[in-house]
Structure 1
Amino acid sequence: MPTISVVIPSRNDAPMLAACLAALQRQTRRPDEVLVVDNGSTDDTAAVCAAAGVRRLFLSVPGIAGATAAGFDAASGNLLARLDADSVPPPDWVERVERILVAQGPMTAVTGPGDFYGGNRLTRWIGENIYIAGYIHVVGAFLGHPPLFGSNFGMSASMWAQLRPLVHRDLRRVHDDLDLSYQIRPWMSVLYDPTLRVGVSARPFDSWSGLKRRVVMAWQTFDLDFRAESPRARRRARRRARRRAGIAPPDQPAEA
């Protein structure tokens, strides 16, 4: 019987974290562990975790990449699911993540999009149709497989064990999901399921400065990863591995 841990990095997001934890308490398949990585919060994050009865890991050094990696390292489940503090998963989210991961095997991750809440109609449309859709399709075409969306993905602990030495956890200005996506090895797959959705806050689009910061972090992440392994070499190794395994080039979406 698989066990599943939900890892949530959080920094000064107590109200949104409370909503996320409440949504996890309403799951049709309750997670075996909820682990909040408190990334140096100075608000009521500790009290929110205590009230919800979840495990809290305090990490004083700021940085989403380090917080995510520390959470995966500390999680006890053999399946790992990832949400952000502002994610609001539907009641069947854990159940579906578990079902897909078990069906697809230990070297396949699963990810899905987000439905933005808050902001205004324009910012929500930009978030869903340009930001997320562009990330999935443009970056996916570049990588040769769908990228992981940090607010909504899962993988096996055995897959993480192979990836953990490769991620850049000590650098603050790194997108953890983009960096982790780049480290996916040729024998691994990512399934993108457009029906595996969670609510996510539209706050990144509240200001141009916030959006610019994310774009700059993406550029810095790619620059770092390109220096370690060129995109051409990465794609060539992936094509060779898939040919040897008799796997068709594109990763196909998981069934709903």
Structure 2
Amino acid sequence: MKLTVIIPTYCRADDLRRCLAALAQQARSPDEVIVVVRDTDRNTWEFLETSVPPGLPLQTISVVAPGVVAAMNRGLEAAQGDVICFTDDDAAPHPDWLARIEQHFLADPHLGGLGGRDRIQHLPESLAGRPCTVGKLQWFGRPIGNHHLGMGAAREVDILKGVNMSFRRTAIAHRPFDTRMRGTGAQAHFELAMSLALRRDGWRLVYDPAVLVDHYPAPRHDEDQRHQFSAIARQNAVHNETLALLEHFSPVQQAIFLLYALLLGHRDAFGLAQLVRYVPQQRDLAMRQWAAAMQGRWQGIQTWWASRKRGPKAGVGGQEWGLRG
């Protein structure tokens, strides 16, 4: 089995250095490492010309369009592995990462995607590694992540996380990441769209906490800043979530989801109940978060409806390709 690792990167040369060093220390060496770099990112290009760990089978690819989706799709175009593994430039896979990934895919021919824990550095001990629900979509439309907290045995899930996810080549050969995802950098919920699409195709998704990367969350260079509210970033994230869920759900579930989104919502996409809950403490900020979420919901509905009218290929911008090899 041939394993390809794809790393999208932008303006994080020091983080990328740590990531590549970790890949060079894998007990099961990667057959191919593809680093996708923005064409304007001079510092990263200079680093890749001078400081790559020796012996790493590295290929560098340039991308012009902003956003992680464009970068990952450029990597997919070049990938030749039987399993395509993704991690972020600010992560460092553990030495047995690829070996465990290979074991899972060899053992289960119905496995389409595999995820693992991203152990966030500097996370308070009270939050690290506790029993919790991981990677599930509730029936009314609330996605649950918690991939950084999972413990215990491997189990089937609905959703993977971008910092630590791998896919069988045949599962994604004609399904690039959804180019309708909005944002110029992180493009929140692109994993949700891909995960639910693979589930609809009949593939199993599994989360194994032992498939582990250390995650050093680095600053983002777009509107979606960590721990800082941005109306544009919130609209984009809610748009992406809404689009992915409307495409996954049946008509009855769509109606239930839209009622939930309007009346309740969750902490990252306020509905009326969340607005009432937070407005006494946050006042204007709560109103701004609610307004951004409602705009994102409406925009997601509009994108879904327009794509539905255009036909099935619209889900990935009208593109299909098979991975080369």
Question: TM-score normalised to the size of structure 1?
Answer: 0.75
CA distance in 2, matches of 1:63, 1:135: 26
CA distance in 1, matches of 2:87, 2:13: 14
CA distance in 2, matches of 1:111, 1:49: 27
User: Rg bigger for which structure?
Assistant: 2
Is 1:79 aligned to 2:83, yes or no? yes
Higher normalized helix content (fraction of residues) = 1
Q: Secondary structure at the match of 1:44?
A: helix
Shift of 1:235: 8.2
* Aligned partner of 1:161 among 163, 169, 173: 173
Distance 1:16 1:81, change over 3 A: same
* Aligned partner of 1:150 among 162, 165, 169: 162
Alignment of 1:60-139 (within 5 A): 60-105=64-109, 107-117=111-121, 120-122=122-124, 136-137=135-136
Count of residue pairs brought into register by the alignment: 227
Deviations 1:103-152 (A, max 9, x none): 111542110121112xx544x8668779xx67624569957943111011
AA at the equivalent of 1:183: A
Q: Secondary structure at the match of 2:161?
A: coil
Equivalent residue, structure 2, for 1:193? 208
* Aligned partner of 1:222 among 218, 224, 241: 241
Higher alpha-carbon deviation: 19-28 or 66-75: 66-75
Shift of 1:232: 2.9
Q: Secondary structure at the match of 1:112?
A: strand
Equivalent residue, structure 2, for 1:25? 24
Distance 1:170 1:218, change over 3 A: closer
CA distance in 2, matches of 1:80, 1:235: 32
Is 1:231 aligned to 2:249, yes or no? yes
Q: Secondary structure at the match of 1:29?
A: coil
CA contact (8 A) 1:11 1:40 kept: no
Structure 1 unaligned spans of 5+: 237-256
Shift of 1:213: 7.2
CA contact (8 A) 2:116 2:212 kept: yes
Alignment of 1:6-45 (within 5 A): 6-45=5-44
Structure 2 unaligned spans of 5+: 144-155, 255-325
CA distance in 2, matches of 1:226, 1:161: 22
Distance 1:183 1:127, change over 3 A: farther
CA distance in 1, matches of 2:22, 2:229: 27
Q: Secondary structure at the match of 1:31?
A: coil
CA contact (8 A) 2:197 2:248 kept: no
CA distance in 2, matches of 1:140, 1:191: 19
Equivalent residue, structure 2, for 1:180? 194
Equivalent residue, structure 1, for 2:304? none
CA distance in 2, matches of 1:78, 1:56: 19
Distance 1:48 1:30, change over 3 A: farther
AA at the equivalent of 2:36: V
Question: TM-score normalised to the size of structure 2?
Answer: 0.60
Larger RCO: 1 or 2 (CA < 8 Å, sep 6+): 1
Deviations 1:176-230 (A, max 9, x none): 2222112122411101112212111234798531698765543221222244x25
CA distance in 1, matches of 2:231, 2:4: 32
CA distance in 2, matches of 1:76, 1:162: 14
Shift of 1:95: 0.9
AA at the equivalent of 1:112: G
CA distance in 2, matches of 1:202, 1:213: 21
Distance 1:121 1:181, change over 3 A: closer
CA distance in 2, matches of 1:189, 1:96: 17
Equivalent residue, structure 2, for 1:55? 59
CA distance in 2, matches of 1:156, 1:233: 30
Distance 1:127 1:234, change over 3 A: farther
RMSD: 3.4
